[in-house]
Amino acid sequence: MVGRRPDTSQILQAVGDLLMPRECIVCGQPLLKDERHLCIWCRSDLPQTFFHLQGRNAMADKFNLLVQRHIESGIGAVQDHGTPPEGQEPVPRYTPYVWAVALFFYRSKTGYRKITQSLKYHGNQSAGRFFARMLAERLKESPYLGETDAVVPVPLHWTRRWSRGYNQAEVIARELVRCGIGGTMVSDLLRRNRRTRTQTKLSVGQKADNVKGAFSVRRKTAERLVAGCGPGPLNVLLVDDVFTTGATLFACWKALKEWNPDVRVCIVTLGYVG
């Protein structure tokens, strides 16, 4: 029996693999024609978190600890309710538990760290979209992801975006929306007010100080979003590439809450440092 002739795309891929062999992001081995970004062995060993199947998980607990400390400080209560009458303590506003999910565990001593590094530092947007699709598949399986009105990527400062040419969080967010996660991507809801230092080599405390007050909500964009979504709380899916201490995502959460205390936020990333 004569086999089916390869189509043009298969021929072009074969020629491309000869001229510029594709390699596994993690281990560097040449990829077979049906493999994309990961070889079959590294894909099978991907350290998945399975947070999407858990109502509470380590990533979410770490983030909600930041929220709890913020509430207990009294800052959030005064902003939400105004200055309380003399002699009375501010009553913290009820804040729902923030659900958070990551695709895989990010560990600096394994090759899997290259997944987000290839997107963030080496321009590999194709890999970013590939792993965002994997994340979307997990989110679709989850019984905990509720209605989402807007998918919002953590913004870059314009100077960093200009030098890099793109925002890695936006690459992930756009692919999630394309896969049917959330209503629409709103890339300009949050503004990065100043260029912050890279978080990579900072301590936990330094990371929090570095991004304190770094984000704000663009009011006109927010007003258009609310008008288009109708009555009820706004549900935002906040997207970034990696969750380390949660400082950057918390600064975004805080900006959203200062704009509208009733906004509901969920968090998704590709990697989780834990």
Mean pLDDT by 10 residues, the chain (274 residues): 55 49 95 95 97 96 94 61 55 80 95 96 96 98 93 94 95 97 93 76 66 89 90 91 96 94 96 94
Measure the CA–CA gap between 140 and 124, rounded to whole angstroms.
Answer: 25
The pLDDT of residue 78 is: 45
For the four alpha carbons of 116, 122, 124 and 125, in that order, the dihedral sign comes to positive
Q: What is the pTM of this model?
A: 0.85
CB 212 within 8 A of CB 199: no
Residue with tokens 């021929």: 11
